[in-house]
Amino acid sequence: MTTPLKIAVHGAAGRMGRRVVALASADPSVEVTAAIENDQHELLGADAGELAGVDTLDVPLASKWPTDVDVVIDFSLPDAIDRCIEKCESHDTALVIATTGMTDAQVERLRDASASIPVVWAPSMSLAVNLTMKLAQQITEKLRDVPGGLDIEIIERHHRFKADAPSGTALKFGDLIAEKLGDDTKHVHGREGHTGQRTRNEIGYHAVRVGDNPGEHTIVFGMLGERIELNVAASNRDCYAAGAIAAAKWLIDRPAGMYDMFDVLEM
């Protein structure tokens, strides 16, 4: 593009929204032109750049929806998703959505919107996480019929403030692995009491909430006599913000449709 990509950040006052603003402000190929929050937010009117810890951008935190942006990057909350989808659809604006914890009805609403606007939706915008997801699928495909059976467990760790469990990323790992295991796969969340021995067609999930951990996922592939562990961990939130900006750049030239980070990475 010869002119900077104009982006709006939805949830701009949140931890992730601020990092998107900060990284985008340092990228000459994009321009933050709107910073959106709910109409009751205590910081309305504050400069988005100053909130993000960078230079003043002359972009105030506002609840009014912009009409002159190319892409909206959403790092908000499930309660705010419906308005975001509606506004992007009505203004014909591309949407990168990274919010997790959506209801089935909201997911269906997002899919409906993708008939008229291009959407990238992924539970994790991290490039490393998405590459690890592809590796997890490949390992599952090659080992699912190994003699003695293949046991798969997903352990995710996040900060104490995270409201949903297991993480959307852990669930996405499980869905992608289940595609390679078969239709009879069971998803088991935690274990307690006399559970009996592990069945061969289950994926186990375990959520850990500790300190300020920005996100870590370990996929354990256990066999008789050996095991493989895939571990992908963030040391800060910039990987998610950078991935979202990369998705926005990729999305701008795409037709209406539902895309994910595998599409962005061309995997």
Please report, in range form, the residues annotated as the binding site for NAD(+). 11-16, 37, 98-100, 122-125
Beta carbons of 99 and 163 less than 8 angstroms apart: no
Beta carbons of 41 and 61 less than 8 angstroms apart: yes
> Quick count: other Cβ atoms within 10 Å of Cβ 113?
21
Tell me if residue 162 is catalytic: yes
Phi, psi at 203, each rounded to 5°: -115, 125
Bond preceding residue 60 cis, omega within 30 of 0? no
Task: Please report, in range form, the residues annotated as the binding site for (S)-2,3,4,5-tetrahydrodipicolinate.
Answer: 159, 168-169
d(CA 192, CA 190): 7
Tell me if residue 187 is catalytic: no
Catalytic position from the list 6, 87, 162, 217: 162
CA quadruple 234, 240, 241, 243: dihedral sign? positive
> Quick count: other Cβ atoms within 10 Å of Cβ 67?
11
Query: What is the total residue count of the chain?
Result: 267
Catalytic position from the list 6, 158, 206, 217: 158
Beta carbons of 133 and 176 less than 8 angstroms apart: yes
Rg of the chain over CA atoms, in angstroms? 20
Beta carbons of 75 and 20 less than 8 angstroms apart: yes
Phi, psi at 60, each rounded to 5°: -75, 145
Q: What angle do CA 260, 261, 263 make, to 5 degrees?
A: 75
DSSP letter string, 60-79: BEESSPPSS-SEEEE---HH
Task: Please report, in range form, the residues annotated as the binding site.
Answer: 11-16, 37, 98-100, 122-125, 159, 168-169
Catalytic residues: 158, 162
